[in-house]
Each structure stands twice: as structure tokens, then as C-alpha cells.
Amino acid sequence: MAGETPEHPVSLSALAETVLGQLESKAADYVFGGAGTEDTMRANEAAFRRWRIVPRMLRDVSARDLTVTVLGTELPAPVALAPIGAQTIVHPEGELAVARAAAAVGLPMAVSTVSSSTLEEIAGAGGGPKWFQLYWPGNRDFAASLLTRAEAAGYRAVLVTLDTFLPGWKTRDLQTAWQPFFDGLGIANYLADPVFRSLLEKPPEEDMQAAIGQFVMQFSNPRLTWADLEFLRSRTTLPIALKGILHPDDARAAREHGIDGIVVSNHGGRQIDGAIASLDALVEIVDAVGDELEILLDSGVRSGADVVKALALGADAVLLGRPYLWGLAAGGEAGVLAVLRAILAELDLTIGLSGHTRPAELGPGLLVAEPR
């Protein structure tokens, strides 16, 4: 209203282009890249474009309430920040800046196991609600230690990422021969953990390369099966959601194993080239377990309108990923805050303009699918 133009592009696509031109090339490849030909990364966004909103008129939408409760956490809107590792590759404050921005708008931040700061340090930044994302390590005692630390630090839920038990085929990273973890970035939670340190012959301060080697050994865990969930459940009282579910039978298995929720996700297209888009997988999963599990979705969410589409198709909330990282790269805490406020504002407006006042009112009747 004062005629002041925004410091950064309001359009997320324009923001992405700006950031792409600013970042160091290897960091840009890591942030913007996907698996293989990046077909699944493109499919995630295309899946949202195939659904069109059909608004309803002459409904009183003057008072709107976007609050929901997901995984035991009350949210001001059905949005949370997806876990993204090694955030200092785009900004020196990394996850700490993101935590402060998320707290400013009251949204939960899911903190990655491979964060640049420890989960305790991030919990103390901003004071907002936090969820802990677990990359389930090979050593069970180490896994239990991470969960104990998360509970002690006040985290309210655990998201267990299932789709990275082996690293995906990422051609951009292979071409640049670079992974942030091999430079010691994103492994703060490992280096600070007493169980992890007990696995080392020398402290990381004396032999960082050996610590990085132990990180590599712990990170990939292809032996995990559904039977291992009993161990996980016995080690925490927090709500547990399994992240990386794309098949309705896996959603049913999660229900049968007493899990609280799932995240329909293909890891932003970073693991399997040619995998189904998350939004395309959502409908069958909702049909299978929608009344019995809380269902979140990530991968491809780029706008408040995208959030509305996911909610209409049965998601209880969405996780926003790359866009807030673009905000971090562009302007630190202020950049993240600008992105989150834009998403929330568009979400509120889209719900109202479509003729609704609450997320619970959204359903499949709000959408039509474009012919393929």
C-alpha cells in the first residue's frame, strides 16, 4: 500500500531463477538437481498442473480459519517445512535462520538428521514447533540416541525417511564430484552424538576423515524391514510418520504396524528417476488409509494453490521443500519468511476465492482433472 516493491521476487519461479544464478555451481546442482534425467522432479510439478480448481460463488467466506492439528501439533495452516539437509551450502546461518522464520509464522520445521547445526541448537532457534526427521542409521543404539535427543530437545513428532536406504543416481552431483557431507557439512548431529563418537577410534576433532567415513557407513541402511518398526516404536513416545510412501499397500502396512501417519513423497524426485509423482500417488493412498492415518504430502508444492489441490485430494497437510530453501539462499531468515508468508497468503486467498473457509471443507469436488 506504500508503493514499496519487495526486496526479492514474489514469484517463486522468478526467485528460483535468481538464486540459480547466484549460487556456486556445485551447490546449485545439489539444490536444484534430481535423480537421473530428472523426469520425476518435473512430473511432480506437472501433476499439480493437471488438476484445476472449480470455485463456488455467493458463499460467506469473510471469516476463514486455516488451523489444523497434525501429528499432535496445532498448525496455523496445513503447511510444514520439509526436512532439507546441509542448508549452510546456500547460506551461512542455514537451519538456524529457517527455524527463526518458521517460528515467526508458527509453522513446524522438520529438522533433518543431516542438518548443519545440531538438533539441539536448531530447537533453541526461534522457539517454534519442531519435528525431527530420522535417517535411520545402521547402528540401533545410535538410532535410539537420536530419538532420545529429539525428545529431550522438545521435538513433537518423528518423520522417518524410508526412501534413502541407498543413495539415488544423481548425475549432476556425479559430474561435479561433490557431496557436502564429504566436506563435513550436514553431519553435525553425528559428530555431537555420544553413541556415534563411541564408534570412532579417535574423536572427530583429531580425525575428521575417519568420522566422515563412519558417517557414510551409518547413513545407508538397506537391511531395514517392516519388522524393525517395533524397535523404533519402543524407543519413542512421539507420533511417528513414515516418509517416502507411494504405494497403497505400504500405506496399509504402516497402519498395521501402529504408525501414526505417512508422508506421500518421492524425495522431491531425488531418488528414483521415473518414479510416480507424489500427487498422482495420493488418491489411491487416501482411499486405502485416509480414515485411519494422518497423511502428509511433499514433492512439487510450489504455491498456495498447490496446497489447496493436495488438501482437496485428501492430504491433511503438505511439506514445503525447495521454495523455502530458495528464500534462504536469497536472503537468509528474511528470505525464508517472505516465501512462507507468500505461500500462506495465497493459500488463504485460494481457499476463500474457491468458496470455502476451512481446510476440512475441501474435497475432490473442488477439482477437475485435465485430460492427459
Closest Cα to residue 107, out of 372, 370, 344, 321?
344
Cell 512430473 appears where?
Answer: 43
Angle between helix 278-289 and 248-256 (nearest 10) = 40
Residue with cell 530428472: 38
Bridge partners for 131 per DSSP? 110
Matching residue, cell 574423536: 203
Pick the closest to residue 123 from 137, 103, 142 (CA basis).
103
Nearest-angstrom CA–CA distance, 131 and 82: 10
At residue 61, what are phi and psi to the nearest 5 degrees?
Answer: -120, 25
Pairing assessment for the beta strands 261-264 and 367-369 based on DSSP bridges:
unpaired
Cα separation, 134 vs 118, whole angstroms: 13
Kindly list the catalytic residues.
267
Closest CA to 276 of 50, 42, 33, 40: 40
Between CA 368 and CA 55 the distance in angstroms is: 11
> What residues pair up with 52 in beta bridges, in sequence order?
368
